[in-house]
Structure 1
Amino acid sequence: MIKNNIEDKYTMSLSLNVLNHLGINLYSNIPSVISEIVANAWDADASEVHIHITDNNDIIIQDNGSGMDIDDINNKFLNVGYQRREHNEAITAKYSRPVMGRKGIGKLSMFSIANDIDIYTSKNGSINGFNMNLEKIKDAIKYDGDNVCYHPDSIIYEGDNFIGTKIILKDLKKRISSITPQFLIKRIARRFSVLGNKYKFKVYVNDQEVQIKDRDYFHKVEYVWYIGCKEDDNEYKPYFENVKKEKYLSGEVEKNKNYYVSGWIGTVKEAGALKDGDENLNKIILIVRGKLGQENILDIYNEGGLYSKYLIGEIHADFFEDDNCEDMATSSRQEYNVEDERFEFLKNFIKNVLKEIQKEWTSLRNEMGVEEAISIYPSIKKWMDELKGDDKKYAKSILGNVNQIIVDEDKKKEILKYSILAFEKLKYNNNLSKIDDLNLESLDNLMVILNDIDDIEATLYYQIINERINVIKKFQEITEVDVLENVIQQYLFEHLWLLDPAWERASSTEYMEKRVKNALSIENINGLTDEEIKGRLDIGYKTSAGKHIIIELKRYSRRVSRNDIYSQITKYHDAIRKLLSNTGQENVPFEIVVVLGKLVEDLSQTELEKFYNSIASYNTRVVYYDNLIENANKAYKDYIEANKKVAPLIDMFDEISKE
C-alpha cells in the first residue's frame, strides 16, 4: 500500500536539458527534419508547403495552414510534449485529416540541423514572429538550472501579408551545398504518400512540385506483389512502368482486431539497381498515416536467400497509430516498439508474404532466364522445342539458374553456352533424371555423377558459385587472428562482393588508383599518429558503377575507438573530394568503407545507430570482419548447402584420378 507523505520528501524535475535528448540529437539529416516540418503543415490543414534553399544556405519552409496566435504559440508550439490527440485535436478542423504528430517533440528536430530559427505565423489577420537560438537555450540550461523557462526573442515581420506559418532555418550545422532541390524532392517524395490533388496537399521545393513518382524507384521494379488493394482500384499501379509480372495479395493482418495493410513489395532485375548514391533501396519502408514511420522493416527478418537482395517495398499500416490504443512509437520517432502486439501481427504477416515471394521469385526468374536465352540465341528456341518431359524441365532449370546469379551480360552468354554443352553431355548419357535419384548406395548412379563432374564444374556452379564458396570457406576455416588478417588482405580487394553484392564487377584504372592511393598515403596517412598507423592493415581503391570506393582495413585484433575512426575518415573524405574536384569529377559519388574487428566502446544499439548516422555524413560505413563471414553465408547459403553435397564427390573423383 502506498502512503502519502506529510511533507514533500521526493521531487521529480524536468529541465530544458530534455532538448539534448529529444530535440538537438533527434535526427541526423536534413530530409528527416524537413519532413517533420511538412508533417506539422499537414496537421495545420495546409494545402500547400513551399520549401526554398536560398543562395546564402538558409532553408525556408512556408505553409498556408491555420497558423498560430499568441496562445497557440505558447500553449501548443512552445509547450514541449503537447499532444494534440489528447486535446481532442486528433482530426483537423478544415480537411478532417488524421494528424501525423503524436508526442509533441517533432518540432524540436529543427535544432538537429540549425542553430538559429526564425518563425513567423499568421492567424486572424495578425502576424507574430519569434526567434529561437540554440546557444541561448544551452545557456539557459547551463546557468538557470532545472525547471527554467526559455523566452524566445520577439521579432518583427517585414514582408507581404500571408496566411499560415513561415520557418527560416539559419546557421545550419551541416553544409548544404551538396543538397540540391532534386535531392530534397526525391527524399520528401519517399517520406510521404499524401501528396497531390487527391489529398489536397502539395509540397514544392524551389517551386517544383513534389510528386509520388519522384521517389525514383518504381521504374526499377521487375516483379511486384500488390498487398491489400484491388485490381480495379490500385493507386500504386500507374507508377510501375517496367513490371513484367504482378500479383494481388490480401492485406488482412488480423481480421478480429481490424488490422489491415496496403502497399506493395517488388523485386528488381539486378541487386545493383537498389544502390542509389549513398542510399540503399534494398528495404521495405513502413508508412503510417501518410508519413514514413520506419525506415526499414526488412532487416528484422534476417533473410539470407539471394532473393532478399532484390527486394524493395512499401507497407502502409495506419492501425499502428490508432488513437484508441497506446502509442507504440519510440521516443526517437524513427521506429516502433517491437514488443507491441500490433508489431508482432505485422511482422508475422510480412514474414508469410516474403515466403510466398521467395518461392514465386525463383520460378519467375527461371522463366525469364529461358526467355532471355531465346532472345540471345534464336536457335535455343528450336533446341528447347525439341526437348520433351523432364529434359525440358532440367533445361529450364539450368537456364533459369544462370539468369538468377549472373549479372554481367557477356559472362551470362559465355556461361549459357557452357551450360547447354554440359546439359547435352548429360542428356546423351541419359543422366539428367538420375541426378535427382543420386543415392550413395547405388554404385551405378554414383559413377554417373563422377564421370560427368568435369562437365558440371565447367558450367555455372564451377565458374561462379564454386569460386565464391571457396572464398567463404577460407574465412570459415580460419580461427587464428594473424592468419585471418593475411587472408582478408589478400582476398578482400579481389572479392568486394563480400562487402556489397552490388560490387560484383568492381575494378580500377591504374591512373586513378595511383592518384587516390597517393592522396591517402601522402596527405593523410602522414597526419596519423603512430598508434593509428599500427592499427591499419592496408588501404584499397576500386570503382563500381561510376562510384569510387575506398576501403580502410584495420587489424582484426585492433580495438578501434569512434574518435580513431572520425580522425581518419575526415582526412580521407577531404582528400578524395579535393582529388575529384581537381580531376573534374565533383559530382562523382564515392564511399569509404572501414573494416575492423571491434570497437573499443561497449555501445548500446541507440548509440551505435547515432554513430553510424554521423559517419554516414562523410560517406562512410563500418563493416566488421565477423559479419563478412555471417553475411556471405546468408547470401549464398542455398549454394553452400548444394556444394556440400557435391564436394565429397569431387574429392573422391580427384582421388580416383590420381591412382
Structure 2
Amino acid sequence: MSDSLILKFDPNTIEHLGVSLYSKLPSVLSELLSNSWDADANIVTISFAELEDEKEIVYEDDGEGMTFEELNNKYLVIGRNRRSDTQRQYSALGRPVIGKKGLGKLSVFGICDEIEVISIKEGKRNHFTMNLQEIKESRGNEYSPELLAFDEPTSAKSGTKIILKKIRRKSGFNLDEIALSLSKKFIIFSEMNTKIIKNGDIDSEIHVTNDLKYQTLNKEFSWEFPDEKFDPEYSHWNQMKGSVISLKTPVKDTEMRGIYLTSRGKIVNVASFYGARDNDQFHNYVTGYLEVDFIDDFEDDVISTDRHSLNWEHEETRALQTYLQKIIKVIGKEWRERRAKVKLEAVEKEHKVGLEKWKSELPTFERNLGERIINPILENSNIDVGESAELIGSVMDKFDNQAYKEYASSIADLSESAEDIPKLLRLMDEWKSIESKQYRDLAISRVEVIKQFENYVNTNTKEVPTLHNFLKKFSWLLDPRILEFRDEVTYSKLLEESYPESNLEEKDRRIDFLCSNALGEILYVIEIKRSNYRVDEKALEQAYDYASFLKDRYASHTGFSKVVCYVVGGSKSDERRFRDKEKTYAGSGEVFVKTYRELLEQSKEYHKEFIEAYDQHNG
C-alpha cells in the first residue's frame, strides 16, 4: 500500500464548487456536520479562535474516523457519490446518510486557504495538510497533501479533527448567529450533541439544538404532520412529518418566513410558500419544517448542490409542490379563523362589545351580511384588538341604517377575498360618503327650521319661552357642536351635584340652559334675551360672571376643560366700553354676544355651503 496521499481534481472544480459555492461560514460548517452525522458522531465541538493576526476554526467529532485507505480512496476523491458508489444509504448505526455528491470536502476552501486533517480509526492516526494555493498551482490535475502522520499507532478514540487556517474573514465570530444559522439548517441535533465555543472560554459555549431557531418566536398555533385532511390523494402524504407554526406577531427573521423542507435531517429547500399566493398576511406569521425524506427515493436527484431549492421541473416535485400549496391554503384559512376567534374573545372581554348576542338577534340574511363585514376585521392581523372593537362597534351602531346595509352589501360582494379588507375599512371609515346623502336630507329639513326661526326674528317675538324652547330643540342654530342639554338649572343645583356640603355665598341666579359640545370638553352657558333686547355692558358682565363662577366651582371637577358663555339678544349696544369688552371676551373665547339675525344668517350660510358642496360632488 502506498504511503502517499493523492487528490485528483479539475482546477475549475476547486474554484466553482469550493471557493465560489461555499463562501459563507454556516454553509461550510453544515457540510462538515453532514459528514459527522454520516460518520455516526455523537458529539461535535467547533472551536473558534480569534488570534492577533489571524483566525482559526477547529472542528472535531467522535465519529468512526477514516483509515489511510479511506482518506485516499474516498475523502480525497472529488465528486464521489457515496450512496451509489457504495450502495450505502445508511450509516453503520442506521442513520440515513446525508452526504451524496462528494463535494462537501471542498467547502472549507470557500472560507480558508489551508486545512489540517487528523483522523483516527482502528487505533491508527493519520494527519495531513492541504493548501489551496498549492492545489491551484499543481500540475497534472493531481495534488499530494503534506503527510504529517501515517498510520501512527494511538490509544485515542476514533474521530476526525479538521483545522481551518488562514481564514479569509475580517469580522469576528458571532457565536449566537452561527448557532442560530446551524439550527435552521438541520433537525438532527437531538441525536448529535453539537456545541460551539470561542477562544476556549467555557462561558461562551453554546449548544446547538433543533429548538434554538424557535426560542425567540412567540408561538400561537401549530399544525402537525402527517395529516390526511390536506389531501389524502397525494401518494406521500403519510410520509411527510414535521410541524408548521404561526406566531402572534410577524416573523422578524424574514429568512424564516415560510416552510422549510428537509431530507435525512438537513434542509433541501429554504423557507418558501412554493408558488402559493404571496400577498396573504398569513405569510408574515408562519414558519416550520416538513420532512420529505421520500424525495431521496425519486429516480432523479432533485436536490440542488447548495440545498437551497429542489428542482421543481420534475413530475414528482411538481406533485409535491401542488400538495404544499394545498397545505398552505388550508393552514392559512384555519389560521384566520383561529385568530378571529381569539380576537373576538378579546374584543368582547376587554371592550364589552356584545357581538355574538348582537348577531343572534339579527334576521338570517342580516346576520350573514354582518359576518361578511365583521369577519374580515377580526381576521385582519394588521388591525389590533382596540381598533377592531371600534370598527365592529361602529358597524353595529350603523347597521340599523338601510343605506349602510345596502352599501356594505355591495362592498362585500365586490371584495374578492379578505385581503381586500383595507379597502372595505377605508370605505367604512369614510362613512361620511354615505352620511353625506343623509346630511343633505337633514340639511334640507333644517332649512324649514331656519325659515321658522327667521319668522320669529322678523316678527319680533316677545316671549322668551318661545325662543328658549325653539333654541333648546334646535341647538345647532347656536353652534353645530352643541350636543347635550341641562335645562333650567340653578347654581344651587349645580353645586349640589359637585359639592354636596358646600355653602353657597352667591345668590341663586337663573341660567337659561347649559349644554356641552359633542366631545364633552366645553360647557356652554346660554343666556337668552327677547328678540328686541339690546345686549349691553351689564349683560356682558353678567355673562362673564356666570362663566367665571362655573369655571371655578364646577367645570374642572366634572371633566370640562373650558366654559363658554353665549348671550343672545335682538341687537348690541353701541357704547364704546361694551364694544371693547365684547372684543376682549370674544378674543379670549370666554363670552360671545350673538344677535338673532346673526344666528339666522350663520345657519343659512352654513347649510347653504353644505348643500352646494354635496350637489357639486354628486353632480
Give the shorter-chain TM-score range: 0.5 to 0.7
User: Aligned in 2, Cα 1:461/1:47: closer, same or farther, shift over 3 Å?
Assistant: farther
Q: How far, CA to CA, are the matches of 1:107 and 1:460 in structure 2?
A: 69
- CA pair 379-180 structure 1, distance change in 2 beyond 3 A: same
* 1:430 Cα offset (Å): 7.8
Q: Which residue of 1 is the match for residue 399 of structure 2?
A: 426
Segment drifting more, 34-43 vs 49-58: 49-58
- Which of 136, 143, 156 is the aligned partner of 1:150? 143
Task: Identify the match of residue 313 of structure 1 among 278, 288, 292.
Answer: 288
Equivalent pair of 1:399/1:416 in contact (CA under 8 Å): no
Contact 1:369 1:401 in 2 (8 A): no
Q: What secondary structure sits across from 2:19 in the alignment?
A: coil
Contact 2:369/2:409 (8 A) holds in 1: no
Q: Distance in 2 between matches of 1:139 and 1:275?
A: 46
Secondary structure in structure 1 of the residue aligned to 2:345: helix
Query: Is the aligned partner of 1:260 residue 2:239?
Result: yes
- Aligned pairs for 1:502-581 (under 5 A) are none
Aligned residue number for residue 181 of structure 2: 187
Q: What residue is the counterpart of 1:283 in the other structure? A: 258
Q: Structure 2 CA distance, aligned partners of 1:219 and 1:439? A: 35
Question: Corresponding residue for 1:204?
Answer: 195
Structure whose alpha-carbon radius of gyration is higher: 2
Note if 1:327 corresponds to 2:301. Answer: yes
| Contact 2:226–2:237, Cα closer than 8 Å, also in 1 | no
Structure 1 distance, partners of 2:87, 2:28, is: 23
Hey, what's the Cα distance between the residues in 1 that align with 2:406 and 2:255? 42
- The answer on 1:368 being equivalent to 2:342 is yes
Cα distance in 2, alignment partners of residues 388 and 431 from structure 1: 15
Residues 12-161 of structure 1 aligned to structure 2 (within 5 Å)? 15-56=10-51, 57-140=55-138, 144=139, 147-155=140-148, 161=156
Q: Normalised by the size of structure 2, how large is the TM-score? A: 0.59
C-alpha distance in 2 between matches for 1:421 and 1:93: 65
Question: What is the CA–CA distance in structure 2 between the aligned matches of 1:407 and 1:267, rounded to whole Å?
Answer: 15
Measured after TM superposition, the shift of residue 54 of structure 1 is 2.2
The structural deviation recorded for 1:385 is 7.4
**Partner SS for 1:267:** strand
- Contact between 1:286 and 1:296, CA under 8 Å: does it hold in 2? yes
Opposite residue 247 of structure 2, the aligned amino acid is V
Letter in 2 for 1:457: D
> Which residue does 2:517 correspond to in 1?
none
Q: 1:326 to 1:414 in 2, by over 3 A?
A: closer
> Cα distance 1:45–1:356, how it changes in 2: closer, same or farther (>3 A)?
same
Structure 1 residue runs of 5 or longer lacking an equivalent are: 1-12, 230-247, 441-451, 463-652
> Alignment partner of 2:101: what SS?
coil
Q: What letter is aligned with 2:10? A: S
1:457 is matched with 429
8 Å Cα contact 2:226-2:238 kept in structure 1: no
- Local SS of the residue matching 1:65: coil
The question of whether the paired residues in 1 share the 8 Å contact of 2:359 and 2:370 is answered with no
Q: Which string of whole-angstrom CA distances, capped at 9 and with x for unpartnered residues, describes residues 161-191 of structure 1? A: 34210011222222351x3333222222222
In 1, Cα distance between the equivalents of 2:289 and 2:324? 11
Confirm or deny: 8 A CA contact 2:121 2:157 kept in the other structure.
no
Partners in 1 of 2:324 and 2:99 — Cα distance? 26
Distance 2:114 2:615 in 1: 75
Letter in 1 for 2:142: C
Q: 1:377: how far off?
A: 0.9
> Structure 1 residue 22: deviation in Å?
1.2
Partner Cα distance (2:356, 2:224) in 1: 36
Partner of 1:226: 224
Cα separation, 2, equivalents of 1:338 and 1:384 = 50
Give the 3-state SS of the residue equivalent to 2:180 in structure 1.
helix
State the shift of 1:432 in Å.
Answer: 3.3
Equivalent position amino acid for 1:119 in 2: V
Write the letter of the residue equivalent to 2:109.
F
Q: Would the alpha carbon gap of residues 429 and 75 (structure 1) be closer, same or farther in structure 2, given more than 3 Å must change?
A: same
Separation in structure 1 between the aligned mates of residue 117 and residue 243 of structure 2, nearest angstrom: 39
- How much has 1:429 moved relative to structure 2? 3.9
- CA contact 1:130–1:152 (8 Å) conserved in 2: yes
SS in 2 for 1:24: helix
Cα deviations by residue, 1:214-269 (Å, 9 ceiling, x for unpaired):
1226843322222216xxxxxxxxxxxxxxxxxx74585743x7983122233323
2:277 matches 1:298: no
Determine the C-alpha separation between the residues in 2 that align with 1:136 and 1:439.
Answer: 71
SS in structure 2 opposite 1:119? Answer: strand
Query: Structure 1: how far apart are the matches of 2:171 and 2:105?
Result: 20
Question: In structure 2, do the counterparts of structure 1 residues 87 and 654 end up closer, same or farther at CA, with 3 Å as the change threshold?
Answer: farther
Amino acid at match of 1:139: E
Q: How high is the sequence identity, in percent, across the aligned residues?
A: 24
2 CA distance for matches of 1:88 and 1:416? 65
Measured against aligned partners, the alpha-carbon deviations of 1:67-117 in whole angstroms (never above 9, x if no partner) come to 112111111111001121123352445311221011100121111112221
- Over aligned residues, Cα RMSD in angstroms? 3.7
Q: In 2, distance between residues paired with 1:346 and 1:101?
A: 23
Deviation at 1:305, TM superposition (A): 2.4
Query: 1:34, 1:461 → 2: CA distance?
Result: 61
In the superposition, relative to structure 1, how do residues 296 and 258 fare at CA in structure 2: closer, same or farther (>3 Å)?
closer
Q: What secondary structure sits across from 2:142 in the alignment?
A: coil
Moved more, 108-117 or 412-421: 412-421
Measured against aligned partners, the alpha-carbon deviations of 1:120-141 in whole angstroms (never above 9, x if no partner) come to: 111111111111222222223x
Report how many aligned residue pairs link the two structures. 411
Aligned residue in 2 for 1:171: 166
Q: State the shift of 1:397 in Å.
A: 5.2
Give a deviation string over 1:531-567, Cα, whole Å, max 9, x none: xxxxxxxxxxxxxxxxxxxxxxxxxxxxxxxxxxxxx
CA contact (8 A) 2:117 2:161 kept: yes
2:28 and 2:95 mapped to 1: Cα distance? 21
- For 1:75 and 1:454, the matched residues in 2 are separated by 70
Aligned equivalent of 2:331: 357
Q: Secondary structure at the match of 2:185?
A: coil
Cα separation, 1, equivalents of 2:324 and 2:287: 13
Could you tell me whether the CA contact under 8 Å between 1:418 and 1:459 is conserved in 2?
Answer: no
The whole-number CA distance in structure 2 between the counterparts of 1:46 and 1:15 is 31
After superposition, what is the alpha-carbon deviation per residue over 1:24-74, rounded to whole angstroms, capped at 9, x for unaligned? 111232112111101100111111111122243322211111111211111
Contact 2:66 2:120 in 1 (8 A): yes
- Residue 345 (1) aligns with residue 339 (2): no
Where does 1:234-245 land on structure 2 (aligned, <5 Å)? none
**CA deviation digits over 1:608-659, x for unaligned, max 9?**
xxxxxxxxxxxxxxxxxxxxxxxxxxxxxxxxxxxxxxxxxxxxx9776454
Q: Deviation digits for residues 342-365 of structure 1, max 9, x if unmatched?
A: 211110111112222233233233
Structure 2 segments unaligned to the other structure (5+ residues): 1-7, 198-204, 414-423, 435-612
